A and B are shown apart, each in its own frame.
Chain A
Amino acid sequence: MSRPGAAAALCLAALACAGCRVVKPGDPLPGLTRDQRDRFQRGRAVFDSVFTPETGLGPLFNSTACGECHEDPKSGGTGDEVEVHATAFRGGVCDPLVQEGGPVIQQHTTPALKQALGIDQEPFPPSATARAMRTTPVIFGRGLLDLVPDSVILSYADPDDKNHDGISGRPNRNVDGRIGRFGRKALVPTLREFNAGAFVAEQGVTNPAVPTEETIGGKPIPPGVDPVADPEINQDQLDLTNDFVRFLAAPTPARLGGAGGRGREIFSRIGCPACHVPTLRTGDSPVAALRFKYFAAYTDLLLHDMGPDLADICLGLATPAEFRTEPLVGLRSVKKFLHDGRAATPEQAIEAHGGEGAGVRDRFKALPAGERQALIAFLKSL
């Protein structure tokens, strides 16, 4: 697997002082035009809008606003909500259980749906073979990840581990065959699609890209329960939300003291960059602030087998044990670690790595205490 270690380090050094303007979590990308900054602000208003049944919420939902979950420390950050997903993995094929309501099991219902069916949440699909808990990821810098060319993602793939380094990343594929990159299992190819799907799967808010509601465990919504005409938001609202999310900057890594600087070196020495690739570069874009930009990503956007202890659901080509390398950008804002929040600290998260991450985990555990602390200080600077 080719890893651009030295080049990445150089790029990171440049990134740390890109114009020497510190970008804080929740800030817009540096270099946006006045019009783009205006759309960022207006998009944030839609992102933070609280929906009600009268404005399109539900009838099934996990949250009433994008910003209800993505709230800490700013809109686009993390949150303490944990949601439930489920799929079935049989004979090596993943079934996202669309016929039983799909992989996202909404945890809330509107009063009208509760009155009609007497349920407080979507029924758990009876055919599921696994349940997954999912925390709210920070979404800073996701507009940059959106523009990393597929060819770059494929350049890091080594599905058969031909270089025998024990790392064998491979891309996931969307249901239509395109390379995926968003979501903990990298099912979704683009940010725009992720956002449009999330409006419906998370809030029950239909939109021009997804004009139909989720079913109730595969059954139709009872008549009269969801009286707002579809789509429940218009194209302008959807576009503004997309602009807010894609214009969210990756925060500038905090200035590293001596320990943190050593931590970055240790991060490389024990092999973390084999999956958490420090720097990626965007491709072309009409938005100059997104075009051909190096940024601190700390992901290869590929699936890796993380071992049986972390395994939960399948999704697309991802087996239960395979997860996309989590981007570490914005890690300083994270309160619960790993896809399901089981780790309370970065140390616990590293120690839970298995499968392809087992070698790095073991090297981390073998470090002297001072070096472990230095590595953690570096991670908390991101």
Chain B
Amino acid sequence: MKRGGVFAITGVLAGSLAGVAQHAAPQPAALYTYQGTVHSMQAKTGTLELITGVGLALRLVQIRIPTGLRLAGTATGAASMGASGVKPGDVVRVVCHRADGRLVADKVEKLEPTP
């Protein structure tokens, strides 16, 4: 029914959040992990579109890629996200947080198929 921008959070990890909601101490931003197939990587806008979902109910997640973020987990070492780091069809794991209502990537890791 609702049309939220974020679908199918595969993992929400914010260990220090538990039980401290009412206290005054600043809380770390919740981290979200998405694992999916790259639909597009738009270098100009710094937007990664990721295909996730369950079964045949697939969803598109948009994640902003900060300028200068390097691609983790490649055999050749860090590569630029914006240029040829990832391409449609690649499977990636993205750790991100929310800022101004958008998902912003903290880490993007390219995954190779494992047996």
Name the segment of B13-21, B53-61, B78-86 touching the other chain.
B53-61
| Measured CA separation A313–B103 after assembly (Å) | 32
A38: min CB distance to chain B, Å: 26
| Measured CA separation A311–B87 after assembly (Å) | 26
| Measured CA separation A214–B36 after assembly (Å) | 18
Task: Determine if B59 and A98 form an interchain contact, defined as CB atoms under 8 angstroms apart.
Answer: yes
The closest CB in chain B to the CB of A209 belongs to: B54
Task: Determine if B54 and A176 form an interchain contact, defined as CB atoms under 8 angstroms apart.
Answer: no
Count of chain A residues with a beta carbon within 8 Å of a chain B beta carbon: 44
Answer whether A210 and B57 are a contact pair too, CB < 8 Å, given A99-B39, A175-B36, A177-B111: yes
Chain B residue contacts of A220, Cβ below 8 A: 3
Task: Determine if A196 and B2 form an interchain contact, defined as CB atoms under 8 angstroms apart.
Answer: no
Task: Determine if A173 and B113 form an interchain contact, defined as CB atoms under 8 angstroms apart.
Answer: yes
Chain A residue contacts of B54, Cβ below 8 A: 193, 196-197, 209-210
| Measured CA separation A99–B89 after assembly (Å) | 15
- Tell me which of B51, B52, B57, B114 contacts A196 (CB under 8 A): B57
Number of residue pairs A-B, CB distance < 8 angstroms: 99
B90: min CB distance to chain A, Å: 9
Interface centre among B1, B2, B35, B91 (most CB of A within 10 A): B1
A interface footprint on B1-43 (CB within 8 Å = 1, 0 otherwise): 1111001101000000000000000000000000111010000
| Measured CA separation A103–B53 after assembly (Å) | 12
| Measured CA separation A102–B7 after assembly (Å) | 14
B46 at the interface (CB under 8 A from A): no
Other than A98-B51, A175-B36, give 14 A-B pairs with Cβ distance below 8 A. Answer: A99-B49, A103-B56, A175-B51, A177-B35, A177-B113, A183-B56, A187-B56, A193-B55, A194-B56, A196-B55, A210-B55, A215-B3, A226-B1, A232-B1
B interface residues with partner A (beta carbon < 8 Å): 1-4, 7-8, 10, 35-37, 39, 49, 51-60, 88-89, 91, 111, 113-115
